[in-house]
Structure 1
Amino acid sequence: MARAEDQERQQLGEDIVAAVQRMGVASRRVGDVFAAREGLHATDLEALLHVMQAQARDDPLTAGALAGSLGVSTGAATAVIDRLERAGHVQRHRDEHDRRKVIVRYSDAARAVAGEFFGPLTRLTDEVLGTFTTAELHTVARFLGAYTDAMARHVHDARTADGPRSAARDDRT
């Protein structure tokens, strides 16, 4: 009986990973359509998401923190913020406790644009969530959080591995 359970678990794992991969592709496509409509680069959209999520957590995001989240230099982050500010998506504010710090905030105009575009997706998401019990949603949230953390660890490890793969292949010839 344990073998059948192991096989079922293996198949479920494969199905879940495939579903997460499809979700990643679909999510990227949604982001691509929104970015194209708004004239944003992919990095601009990612930055906007970081700013929006930080603001939702009531955790002000500085330009330096945004650079770290994006994995870019502070100069590159400043360029992203400049583009987003020109487009009306973010605003810079001085930190009320430390005037040397600049906080990046999601603008009301950006919230309206996002609401118009993502509103239908939010309704569809609510429909999907409505088909799950609270206990199931806790499990899904725990899985997605853990899986996302695992992918972030993998990206970190891959970026810090010694040298590019092509150099390793060249050594074998």
Structure 2
Amino acid sequence: MEIVHLLRAVAVELGLHSARFASGNDMHATDVRALIALMDARRAGEETTAGRLGAALGLNSAGTTALLDRLERAGHVRRVRGRTDRRKVVVEVTEEAVELGQSFFGPLIERSLELLRGYDDQQRAAIREFLDGVRRAAAQDAHTSPADASQREPGHKTAR
């Protein structure tokens, strides 16, 4: 359990770090999550539609539109035609947003990479496998209703 508690503490610290970035740049926490999702898609060479972004963030259509309007006004994203299907409108993160994120998160990323350099390939593979498993478990839980989750909790009794 010590590792699980440590992982939770890491998640809290990363959330606070992200909140400091959001606050310092007049953004909502969802704005930061959207930018991260768009940067990840860009790194993977994927195009992201508003619908796909909204689904990834758990937002409805109106919420996604408001989010994108806010990010576009701030100069963090732009809506453009798709590369392969010109009928499709995709959302791209701007270079300015990438640079802003790099200036804030870059030192943390570099410190994390430095820590990883202390591990051999086999240890890094184990870390990667563990973190990916935790990510998949969290994603799976995101698609479970609260009633389903409460039935899994040890000692939890549901009213009948």
Q: TM-score, normalising length from structure 1?
A: 0.82
**Aligned match for 1:55, one of 39, 42, 53:** 42
Task: Determine whether 1:122 maps to 2:109.
Answer: yes
What are the Cα deviations for residues 54-79 of structure 1, in whole angstroms up to 9, with x where unaligned? 11100111101001101111221111
Spell out the pairing of 1:20-169 with structure 2 (5 A cutoff). Answer: 20-159=7-146, 161=148
| Distance in 2 between residues matched to 1:67 and 1:119, nearest whole Å | 26
Of the structure 1 ranges 76-85 and 151-160, higher mean CA displacement relative to structure 2 is found in 151-160
1:153 maps to a residue whose letter is Q
| Distance in 2 between residues matched to 1:46 and 1:160, nearest whole Å | 27
What are the Cα deviations for residues 62-118 of structure 1, in whole angstroms up to 9, with x where unaligned? 101001101111221111111111111111111133233111111010111111111
Identity among equivalent pairs (%): 34
Change beyond 3 A, Cα 1:124–1:147: same
What is the RMSD computed on CA atoms of the aligned residues? 1.9
SS at match of 2:91: strand
| Distance in 1 between residues matched to 2:133 and 2:39, nearest whole Å | 22
Report the number of matched residues.
153
Q: Which runs of 5+ in 2 are unaligned?
A: 150-156
Q: CA deviation at 1:128?
A: 0.9
Change beyond 3 A, Cα 1:112–1:20: same
| Distance in 1 between residues matched to 2:113 and 2:83, nearest whole Å | 37
| Distance in 2 between residues matched to 1:114 and 1:157, nearest whole Å | 32
Find the counterpart in structure 2 of residue 11 from structure 1: none
